[in-house]
Chain A
Amino acid sequence: MASTTQAPATPAATTRRRPQASPRSVTRGRARPNFLGGLGGWIWLAVIILPIYYVVITSLKNQAGFFTSNPLAPPTEPTFANYQLVLESDFVRYFANSLIVTVGSVLPTLLVSFMAAYAIVRGKGWFLNSTNKLFLLGLAIPLHATIIPIYWMITRAHMYDTLLALILPSIAFAIPISVLILSNFLRDVPNELFESMRLDGASDWAMMWRLALPLVRPAVVTVGIYNALNVWNGFLFPLILTQSPDTRVLPLSLWTFQGEFSVNVPAILASVVLATFPLLVVYVVARRQLVSGLTAGFSK
């Protein structure tokens, strides 16, 4: 019975297939339900939910309602006027900018990181060794401390206030963790698979795309989600490297809405809901992938 534990499978499998492998026996032996644990669990739920509830109901109030009603009471006459106001304030453009920056940095990150991870895991020599060490070092450095030289470089390259100015450093900052996670997964690919493909005359290049990539695809998805969330929610680069509404991304737009709408709190909160909505949809549709992407590499 004890053997119903999940086997130490490949990392991909452990992150993706938890519920099926559930060791029910953890709870089986326990007669008493854990009241204290349950109580704590419900209290934390309240801590998490109350702010979210407040944001949602307030975004549906009109301004008079906001000032007069109890802040935690649902709106008597729910209105979508705030959402309309936000959408009319160029929200769609900011959304598109965020999408361009996210896709534009995540795809190149995955491509160059995968190639580098493959070379580091399969190759030898001082060059790849020191490249790997450099990336590992990059994980320990609070890279945003380098924002001032980056600002200098971007202005010198005449890229200030362009979306490219956000994309390029985002790629660079995402590379160390991406290479690390992907190489952890690539190490688990059995050497025999490569050997048998080599005997068939496949080149390293061909093995990379036809053998390694399909096998670590779940890891690529995970890394992609992790990076996408970071870029999508990133605030520092947009704050420092862009300026005009044409290049504004969503997190920065929330901040500027706050200035524009000033006392119109319901409208400000409507912008918060709208900006979060796409991620909420992803969460509902692909929760497991998203969650495993969040802890990419950390819980391995």
Chain B
Amino acid sequence: MALSTTASRRARETGPSGWLAVPALVFFLVFAIIPLGGVVALSFTKWDGLGEITFDGVASWARTLADPVTGNALWVTAKIMVFSYIVQTPISLLLGVFTAGRQKYRAVLAVLYFVPLLLSSAAIAIAFKALLDPNFGMGPGLGIPALAQDWLGNSDLVLFVVVFVIAWQFVPFHTLIYQGGVRQIPVSFYEAAQIDGAGRIQQFFNITLPQLKYTIITSSTLMAVGSLAYFDLIFILTAGGPGYSTRLLPLHMYLTGFKANDMGAASALGVILVVIGLALALLLQRLGGKNRSASQLEGA
């Protein structure tokens, strides 16, 4: 009898059984954590994707790191990350503030702003490929000769075109995040500022911006980590070209592994991707101080 009371007390203290977490844990271990170890292991092998996997020491690493395309891919990734950040953040922030207002027309505009969120990267890439066509796309449609360029064939321009399309796809998402952030700022702050005679711009810089600190960190983290995942959009839009001008790291990994059949080198690139992603996430987390949870790191 004494035994059963201790047993029931223990049940009360420990709560539900850890077994409940096991199914999720198993899925995650098998298809995420083990592959994470696997990508490290495979980076020390030679494998063409079909035949035998043989140990190959650091040959893949040596080959990958010596390849100028890898350095270029890192450079392209960094450029796209920085440019798309610089373009997206102010637009998203301003649109977030704009759509947080309660005016009817803003609500209607917001409904339309969020439509790109529904489209897959594949759909967006294909649409823009047609749209950017120098002969049958938007440029000649608007009748502005400057817009009738071979946007995707010009290696000086293509990076900015890619950044634009990325912004088109992802600004709505970040607008949504900022809209939520702005709506959580207490209205009394603005009322007090109005009594003090602060104008709209002063209110923006003295209330809105400081209050959005955590929202900015969240959005920035998602953008930075997310930009390591820009694969499908660029794969369809430019396939990394012309030349290597838009071949960023994830694309370089895919093409090395599945087109050049060099899985060892591709795995080494995968390891580099993981390390950069983790470092970025931790850095931004550190910058933001103790921010609620490690939550907001998902790239998608």
Contacts and interface: CB of A to CB of B under 8 A. Distances in A.
Interface of A: 2, 4-6, 14, 18, 22-27, 29-30, 34, 37-38, 40-42, 44-45, 47-52, 54-55, 58, 66-67, 70-73, 111-113, 115-116, 118-120, 122-125, 127-128, 131, 134-153, 168-169, 171-173, 175-177, 179-180, 184, 198, 204-205, 208, 229-230, 232-236, 239-240, 250-252, 254-255, 258, 265, 268-269, 272, 275-276, 279-280, 283, 287, 291, 294-295, 297-300
A279 B124 CA distance: 14
A25 B15 CA distance: 46
B250 A123 contact: no
Given A25-B187, A58-B130, A235-B231, 16 more contacts: A5-B187, A22-B102, A26-B102, A27-B103, A44-B95, A45-B109, A48-B112, A140-B225, A145-B228, A146-B36, A147-B35, A176-B298, A229-B118, A251-B123, A280-B115, A291-B117
Contacts of B131: 51, 54-55
Contacts of B82: none
Given A54-B131, A148-B39, A175-B24, A280 B137 contact: no
A169 B28 contact: no
A298 B127 contact: no
B205 interface: no
B55 to A, nearest CB: 15
Interface in B103-119: 103, 105-106, 109, 111-119
A80 to B, nearest CB: 19
A145 B297 contact: no
Interface of B: 11-21, 23-25, 27-28, 30-39, 41-42, 49, 53, 91, 94-95, 97-98, 101-103, 105-106, 109, 111-123, 126-131, 133, 136-138, 140-142, 168, 172-173, 176-177, 180-181, 183-184, 186-188, 190-191, 194, 200, 215, 218, 222, 225, 228-229, 231-232, 235-236, 250, 253-254, 257-258, 263, 266-267, 270-271, 273-274, 277-278, 281-282, 293-300
Given A5-B187, A123-B17, A204-B16, A268 B130 contact: yes
Given A123-B16, A128-B18, A272-B123, A51 B32 contact: no
Please classify the interface of chain B as helix (H, G, I), strand (E, B), loop, or mixed, using the class held by over half of its residues: helix
Given A26-B101, A29-B194, A66 B136 contact: yes
Contacts, number: 348
Given A72-B142, A145-B250, A232 B187 contact: no
Please classify the interface of chain A as helix (H, G, I), strand (E, B), loop, or mixed, using the class held by over half of its residues: helix
A297 B173 CA distance: 13
A115 B23 contact: yes
B231 to A, nearest CB: 6
B18 A34 contact: no
Nearest to B182: A26
Contacts of A112: 23-24, 27
Given A29-B194, A72-B142, A252-B122, A204 B263 contact: no
A129 to B, nearest CB: 10
A185 B12 CA distance: 22
A142 B31 contact: no
Contacts of A128: 18, 21
A172 B168 contact: no
Contact of A254 (B13, B16, B39, B126): B126
